[in-house]
Amino acid sequence: MLAKLSTRSAVRRCAFTGAVGLALLAAGLPAVAAERPQPDLSRFYRQKVAWSKCDGMDAPKDLQCGKVTVPLDYARPAAGTLDLAMARYRATGDKRGSVLLNFGGPGGAGVNELAAGGDEFMSLTNAYDVVSFDPRGVGRSSPVSCGDGSDEAAETSDEDAGMSDPQAVLRQLRTAAAQCAENSGPVLPHIGTVNASRDLDVIRQAVGDKKLNYLGFSYGTRLGAVYAAQFPKKVGRLVLDGVDTLTEPMAEQGIAGAEGQQTALEDFVGWCVKDVACPFGQDARDAREQVVQLVESLDEDPVPTDFGEGFTGQDLVGAIGQALYSQEMWPSLERALASLVEDGDTRGVMAFATGGVALPHREDTGGGLVDANDVPLDNLPAALMAINCADDPDRPGADRITKDLGRLREEYQKASPVFGRYRLTEVLMCYGRPKGTDFIRDDVRNVHGPKMLLVGTRGDPATPYRWTTETAKRLGSSAVVLDNKGEGHTGYASSKCVHGKVDRFLLYGSLPPTGSSCGPEDEGT
């Protein structure tokens, strides 16, 4: 029943927004009773980032690295600290401050993303230092991990085993939860967006800004919205691109994600069969069936890899999901699938799903930065699980899961014969983890602050356009929506029109009128 959640998944401003889970938010909520004394955080707010050359990673020469220290537990700041890895490109024009970027996930390491994709943001250096960071539990910032062997805890050899023995599924989920807690260290109970937002405010002060200027993609929109609710008087120019939901339960998010990815896959297949090099032939209907058969055959008989474990159908599903976030990657996906189908060569598809570079184990660093070579292989999926479940207050019990398992399996399979099993497994992985915060669902609404720009893309496979309008309604009159009538996940990198409107807002404060749109004819790199 359970799909294998690959330890080699990665993120490219990615998606899986409302999917998997693994931990709780133990403390640090912003609302504190008036009569209760506030913890003293002054030492954290007195920091300044010491920028220097980026050592130990393949980075552009003009990228600088640094760190900021935050409390492990905002309710008990003396109980321990964490270092968060940071990177920046310095302003080349008249500097007005910094703009902070979050590339999504959750679980995406901002330092690596900025190093790899910084060219897209060079126009912003006309006025800003362009800064990104690894959130707590991610990348070099006390990375969480589910350890070696966690894959086996989250899979069965028989897809229908969960139907005949739901209790076996629940035992596997409890085992997986325990392994993640054992391998992640003290950061795990304090992971999640509410604490990451508080970290973001410490970073704002540490880079010397009175107001936060921010550009968040996908999950990064959730982080930005939470920040606006927690610190409305500290909001500067805020852009949310590929807007996440703040309200839908994870089970509904998973179905929406599966449907979106299935649509994107069918669009890719329709494009692929027009090329004689397409490994699935030239008939779209037959090609879609071949993709399903390929996934099933790899689940039954995984292909050996250099990692010492087999490449399964669910690994392939994760890789394809990453590649579908941008039409620019379709030619590379076609070639990678051809190599897999024709030669059994997994290297191409695995390139879409490569995360960390080390074995999924690390020594406890006491909250200090982890060496880039020691980030666990499974950090991205482990962090994605941890953060999503920490943000979600729903936690169905064993009886409910047992009762609903058959219905959910049918609904997810109907949503996508390719992605359904994978997405359902992500949702089920929250079982056995403590209940997450209800702050996001209950309190991130009616934000009274400066105008913020929300970008929704009509053909987004990960964050449906309706999430943009729903989130804008929740945020209230401060939210201005830009309707991007294009394809792909997020609009900034794929649409010249969106890119220009976002830059004009961040650089000059010029917001597009409510109801503005960018058409497909405006797309381009």
State the pTM of this model: 0.86
Task: Locate 59 and state its tokens.
Answer: 């980075």
Phi, psi of 79 (to 5 degrees): -80, -5
Look at residue 3 in the predicted model and tell me its pLDDT.
Answer: 54
Could you tell me if 405 and 34 are in contact, meaning their C-beta atoms sit under 8 angstroms apart? no
Angle between helices 420-428 and 398-415 (to 10 degrees): 160
**Cα–Cα distance for residue pair 299/111, rounded to 1 Å:** 34
Residues pairing with 454 in the sheet:
240, 481
**Cα–Cα distance for residue pair 247/466, rounded to 1 Å:** 12
Strand order across the 452-459 sheet: 52-53, 63-71, 81-89, 128-133, 97-102, 212-217, 235-241, 452-459, 479-487, 517-518
Could you tell me if 129 and 159 are in contact, meaning their C-beta atoms sit under 8 angstroms apart? no
Task: Locate 19 and state its tokens.
Answer: 């999917």
Task: Locate 211 and state its tokens.
Answer: 């107001």
Look at residue 16 in the predicted model and tell me its pLDDT.
Answer: 35
**Cα–Cα distance for residue pair 482/505, rounded to 1 Å:** 12
Q: Angle at CA 15, nearest 5°, toward 13 and 21?
A: 120
Look at residue 469 in the predicted model and tell me its pLDDT.
Answer: 96
Q: Which residues of the chain have pLDDT under 70?
A: 1-36, 148-164, 307-308, 353-366, 521-525
Task: Locate 512 and state its tokens.
Answer: 């597009």
What type of residue sits at position 199? D
What type of residue sits at position 518? C
Phi, psi of 101 (to 5 degrees): -115, 140
Beta strands in 94-221 (DSSP E): 97-102, 128-133, 212-217
Checking DSSP bridges between strand 479-487 and strand 52-53, what pairing results, if any? unpaired
Taking the CB of residue 194, how many other CB atoms lie within 10 A of it?
27
Could you tell me if 454 and 464 are in contact, meaning their C-beta atoms sit under 8 angstroms apart? no
**Cα–Cα distance for residue pair 42/22, rounded to 1 Å:** 31
Which helix (H) or strand (E) is 16 found in, with range?
none
